């Protein structure tokens, strides 16, 4: 164990790490923070969302293809990554449709949480990134990812819980991703229109009452210099990301100018904080040993 600060990002599927918090992770990794992406499922039931990759041979091997995509994205971001080994639940078109037997979303909480608790105890993160309690959007695997992340945050430091999964370790802060806000997209929309580019966000903004913002943004991480790295990591997930699609609708230069941060909600903190923050590790310092303590 080194004395470096450590950041763990818990995600549901391969590609989620590149669409949520990727520039943040790339920045911290470049600055010497140890960063680990934990991917709960293999994305086996994902659809091909990039029309340029719509080939039957890929669908037959989706799990392996997405693992290879994840490895490329991991290398681009400069982070470590591991799979928890659960099976993708898919996203039913009809809410009444049952989920597949044995999938991640149907696992009992303690069964789904145990390998994440083990990963927390092994990696010893000071900060955990995850989704909010609605999953960021209501995919059953995203909601389950929130549940096990909260469980691991609360349980990993308790020696009486999850015996056999390693020595206890208590993370100090947990954040929810909060990048999809009305304020951000209004700002991008206005910036594109003011430059005569036209904006793809008008209809989405008009329907925003359908997706109210539940969590206050407490923390904005300046990482515009790493948006290019984020975009390359996204494009590494070639089955999931159309290079001519939504993720790249706003020119990177405009994003860097008008909204050069990735944004979060501080959901848990065992250290004293002053809000708003511009650093996930605010209030934490690493002493000469291998643990971490609050800043005095």
Phi, psi at 181, each rounded to 5°: -115, 155
Residue 12 CB coordination number (10 Å):
29
- Decide if 1 is inside a domain: no
Which two tokens mark 64? 């392996």
Q: Is 13 annotated as a binding residue?
A: yes
Which two tokens mark 58? 């890929």
Phi, psi at 54, each rounded to 5°: -80, 85
Quote the number of domains for the chain: 2
- Decide if 62 is inside a domain: yes
- CA 42 – CA 168 distance, rounded (Å): 27
- Decide if 112 is inside a domain: yes
The reported pLDDT for the residue numbered 185 is 93
The answer on 227 and 207 residing in a single domain is: no
Q: Which helix (H) or strand (E) holds 23?
A: helix 22-30
pTM over 0.85: yes
Q: Is 231 annotated as a binding residue?
A: no
Q: Could you list the residue range(s) of the whole structural domain that residue 207 is in?
A: 181-212
The reported pLDDT for the residue numbered 296 is 36
- CA 182 – CA 160 distance, rounded (Å): 43
The answer on 202 and 167 residing in a single domain is: no
Instruction: Return the ∠ at Cα 62 (arms to 115 and 105), rounded to 5°.
Output: 40
The answer on 198 and 63 residing in a single domain is: no
C-alpha distances out from residue 132 to 74, 126, 149, 191, Å:
23, 19, 10, 28
Q: Is 189 annotated as a binding residue?
A: no
Q: Within the chain, what is the greatest distance between any pair of CA atoms?
A: 61
The answer on 246 and 156 residing in a single domain is: yes
The answer on 203 and 132 residing in a single domain is: no
- Decide if 119 is inside a domain: yes
The answer on 236 and 172 residing in a single domain is: yes
The answer on 73 and 156 residing in a single domain is: yes
Q: In a 3-state reduction of DSSP, which class is residue 268?
A: strand
Strand 127-130 and strand 173-177: the pairing is parallel
Query: What does the pLDDT profile of the chain (296 residues) look like in tens digits?
Result: 457 999 999 999 999 999 999 999 999 999 999 999 999 999 998 888 888 777 777 777 889 999 999 999 999 999 999 999 999 999 877 777 899 999 999 999 999 999 999 999 999 999 999 999 988 888 999 999 999 999 999 999 999 999 999 999 999 999 999 999 999 999 999 999 999 998 988 888 888 866 667 889 999 999 999 999 999 999 999 999 999 888 899 999 999 999 999 999 999 999 999 999 999 999 998 765 545 544 43
The answer on 163 and 83 residing in a single domain is: yes
Torsion of CA 278, 281, 283, 287, to 10 degrees: -150
- Decide if 255 is inside a domain: no
- pLDDT tens digit sequence for 131-179: 999 888 889 999 999 999 999 999 999 999 999 999 999 999 999 999 9
C-alpha distances out from residue 104 to 43, 115, 138, Å:
11, 12, 14
Residue 167 CB coordination number (10 Å):
9
């Amino acid at each position: 164990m080194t004395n470096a600060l450590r950041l763990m990002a818990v995600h549901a599927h391969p590609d989620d790490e590149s669409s949520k918090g990727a520039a943040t992770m790339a920045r911290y990794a470049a600055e010497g923070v140890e960063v680990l992406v934990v991917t709960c499922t293999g994305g086996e039931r994902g659809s091909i969302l990039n029309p340029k990759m719509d080939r039957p041979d890929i669908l037959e091997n989706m799990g392996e293809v997405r693992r290879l995509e994840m490895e490329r994205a991991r290398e681009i971001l400069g982070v470590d990554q591991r799979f928890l080994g659960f099976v993708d639940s898919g996203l039913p078109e009809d809410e009444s449709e049952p989920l597949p037997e044995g999938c991640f979303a149907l696992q009992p909480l303690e069964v789904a949480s145990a390998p994440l608790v083990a990963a927390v105890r092994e990696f010893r993160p000071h900060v955990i990134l995850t989704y909010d309690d609605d999953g960021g959007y209501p995919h059953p695997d995203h909601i389950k990812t929130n549940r096990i992340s909260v469980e691991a945050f609360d349980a990993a430091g308790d020696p009486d819980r999850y015996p056999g999964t390693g020595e206890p370790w208590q993370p100090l802060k947990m954040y929810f991703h909060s990048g999809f806000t009305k304020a951000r997209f209004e700002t991008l929309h206005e910036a594109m229109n003011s430059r005569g580019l036209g904006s793809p966000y008008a209809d989405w903004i008009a329907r925003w009452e359908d997706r109210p913002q539940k969590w206050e943004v407490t923390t904005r991480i300046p990482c515009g210099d790493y948006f290019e790295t984020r975009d390359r990591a996204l494009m590494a997930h070639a089955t999931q990301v159309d290079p001519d699609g939504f993720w790249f609708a706003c020119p990177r230069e405009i994003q860097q100018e008008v909204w050069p941060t990735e944004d979060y909600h501080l959901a848990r903190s065992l250290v004293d904080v002053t809000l708003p923050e511009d650093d996930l590790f605010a209030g934490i310092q690493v002493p000469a040993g291998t643990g971490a303590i609050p800043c005095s």
